[in-house]
Homo-oligomer: A and B are copies of this chain.
């Protein structure tokens, strides 16, 4: 049964969806029913140093306006806070709140748990091989999160 290239693509998508859907469900069960993967990614980027909207936009390969919108909801839900930047009055410095970090932590744990289940099903070594191959194929690719809609939108350069 020779697989088609399209099947392969679908398989990868299904894998991603499976993990993410699982994670969202579990996160919701833990009381964080208002977090989306987008938010997780954004918080992670903020925690990693993208502490203002423009920078966040750059990290996520998204316009600063889009980043600002995401920040607005994150702030609204208490996951990040914004304060004046002491050194540059143009900026509003972003910070992940304790609640935000809690979600981040929970998210990580859930993903790790899901991965662990996969390990149990196909074997630790096998899963590692799978990851290695994927990594080899893709490089440590920069995450591009102009995602919602990208399935349907105009193309960017290929990865």
Contacts and interface: CB of A to CB of B under 8 A. Distances in A.
Given A137-B121, A151-B37, A157 B11 contact: no
A5 B111 contact: yes
Secondary structure at the A interface, as helix, strand, loop or mixed, is helix
Contacts of A128: 3
Contacts of A12: 12-13, 15-16, 19, 134
B5 A116 contact: yes
B36 A158 contact: no
Interface stretch (A51-59, A89-97, A141-149): A141-149
Interface residues on A, range: 35 or more
Given A17-B159, A19-B8, A148-B151, A133 B126 contact: yes
A6 B10 CA distance: 19
Interface string A98-139: 000000000110111111101001100011111101111110
